[in-house]
Amino acid sequence: MQKTKAALWEFLQGLGKTFMLPVALLAFCGIMLGIGSSLSSEAVTDNLPFLKAEGFHLVFTWMANTGLVAFTFLPVLFAMAIPLGLAREDKGVAAFSGFVGFAAMNLAVNFYLTAKGVDLEDGKAIEHYGIADVLGVQSIDTGLLGAVAVGIVVSLLHQRFRTQRMPDALAFFGGLRFVPIISALVLSVLGLLIPLVWPTFNGWITAVGRGIGHTGVFGPFFFGMGEVLLRPIGLHHILVAMFRFTDVGGSGAVCGDQVSGALNMFYAHLDCAGAPNGAVTDATHFLSQGKMASYLGGLPGAALAMYHCANRKMRPEIKALLVSGVVACVVGGITEPLEFLFLFVAPWLYAIHAVLVGLGFLTAALLGVFIGNTDGNVIDWLVFGVLQGSTTKWYLVPVIAAVWFAVYYFLFRWAITRFDLRTPGREDESEQAEEDSEPVPQDGEAQPVRELVAGKYDAAAILDAIGGAGNIRSLDNCITRLRMTVEDAGEVDEARLKKLGAVGVIKLDDHNVQVVIGPQVQSVKDAIATMIPVG
């Protein structure tokens, strides 16, 4: 039972991590779409006539069309990214098989509907089955859920059959070549089942979405709070994906097309002229404007409070840590470098932070702020707020952020001083002296000189603090963390990792460990990967 629980936990961790590749592309494409659509819109060009020049118009239209890449092909991107991320070896074959499986599934759906005599142009049939054009095939639009199912199935097939041996007469089809073959066969069978179960299953998902919609502004509140509470264990990506890409986040007609998922609806609205309808507005409540109160105001206020509460002689040493955390939060929308400074010393304070993030979502919804996108950073505010015009109510964000800045600052300053929390710069002198002490090399002993990753991370020392290469079963990363399966979590030296620059260490169980590095985690992971025989 314990092994099954650990395996399930490891799988969910890995699944959440695989979402990062398409989501990162989606965030970039969203910025391209936002800039291109706003600067080519009549509202902007009427105020800035020089933008009506053909050259400018072509450039901005090209940007908007390029931004549609991730939105248009989102399901197949997930179908490829999941086996790519879950595979430990031969990742290219896994991703290729993901595409093959996704295509085979949709072709099988088309075969079933055609063989059954379903009129693919009939309005009632389209509504009942959810028929849409998927990669040029009239199929059932299963969206993100279908893509995730394909990705999981293909990853299991890849793990099981990538070393498959065949008889001599069929040896050419063995090994890695067999993975896309078996993927096509299995997903074709799955495709025959989808028309039988999808209408009912989709009805359940739609009912959940409508139920959340009936909660009004409290839906975004619970969503924002839940995302923050799930972040320490790394499962927030799954929650966020459900709201962004499925009916849970809303559904409705956008510019004549039926679209589901909060982010899908927002991007579809950007691609056409006109004011957003009620469905788009409600769905956008789950997007980035809700984060901006805490990301642009609250957490910087918490950072300033931690700086003012630090011992005076320690302030110069922690300034760089706090400033880099604020920059990552405000510019990049990455909050872990600041959140993990107080998560472990005061979990209850982190819970209050989660409530305040939820209240930020609720406040933005009540005031009718309409900005959207994913990150909640200053770039989103500028591109999807300011550039889109006053109808987004972008001017309310600085006011809300200022209020949240004050609330966080005084709350954190009171909590740190009242409960003597060991936030950065408040360590005892004896503890600091112990941390600052380094082994003195013996006479004639050469001091190792290592190249630091991003100028500050000693990858070899981090690997040693994890327990060495022999303690690592698998190694990967998400936006800010190293995600590892280890032989023994007890071998991971938390204190040393923090001294080496880690923001925090999370031991989920005896084998699953996460080390919070920050924005440079990819470089650190790549450096460590060169020292161990894992992917």
Residue 123 lies in a domain: yes
For strands 504-507 and 512-516, give the pairing. antiparallel
> Over the stretch 356-412, which tens digit does the pLDDT of each residue have?
999 999 999 999 999 988 888 898 898 888 888 888 999 999 999 999 999 999 999
The predicted-structure confidence for 489-504, as pLDDT tens digits, reads as follows 899 998 899 888 887 8
Which residues are the active-site residues?
478
Residue 177 forms part of a structural domain: yes
Of 209, 240, 273, which marks where a domain is finished?
Answer: 209
Q: Nearest 5°: phi and psi at 151?
A: -60, -45
Final residue of a structural domain among 179, 209, 239: 209
The answer to whether position 492 is within a domain reads yes
310-327 as b/e: b if 16+ CB within 10 A? beeebeeebeebbebbbe
In a domain, 31, yes or no: yes
User: Reduced to 3 states, what is the DSSP secondary structure of residue 212?
Assistant: helix
Task: Note whether residue 250 is domain-resident.
Answer: no
**Residue 331 domain-assigned (yes or no):** no
pLDDT of residue 393: 93
Kindly state the average pLDDT of the residues 21-44: 78
Stretch 276-296: mean pLDDT: 90
What's the distance, CA 51 to chain centroid? 34
Residue 503 lies in a domain: yes
DSSP code string of 321-374: HHHHHHHHHHHH---HHHHTTTTTT-HHHHHHHHHHHHHHHHHHHHHT----SS
Q: What is the pLDDT of residue 535?
A: 44
pLDDT at 87 over 50: yes
Q: What number is the average pLDDT over the span 268-277?
A: 76
Task: Give yes or no for a contact between 357 and 416, defined as CB atoms under 8 angstroms apart.
Answer: no
The pLDDT tens digits of the residues spanning 444-484 come to 444 455 566 656 788 889 999 999 989 998 888 877 788 88
Per the structure, the complete domain to which residue 492 belongs is given by 459-529
What is the tally of structural domains in the chain? Answer: 2
Total-model pTM: 0.72
> What pLDDT, on a 0 to 100 scale, did the predictor assign at position 384?
87
Q: Taking the alpha carbons of 322, 328, 333, 335 in that order, is the dihedral positive or negative?
A: negative
Residue 438 confidence (pLDDT) above 70: no
What confidence category does residue 428 fall into, taking pLDDT thresholds of 50, 70 and 90? low
Place of tokens 């109160």: 293
Average pLDDT, the chain: 85
Q: What is the pLDDT of residues 38-85, one digit of tens each?
A: 777 776 777 778 888 888 889 988 988 888 888 788 889 999 999 998
CA distances from 388 to 34, 280, 287, 429 (A): 8, 15, 16, 52
In this prediction, residue 2 carries a pLDDT of: 62
CATH number assigned to the domain comprising residue 478:
3.30.1360.60
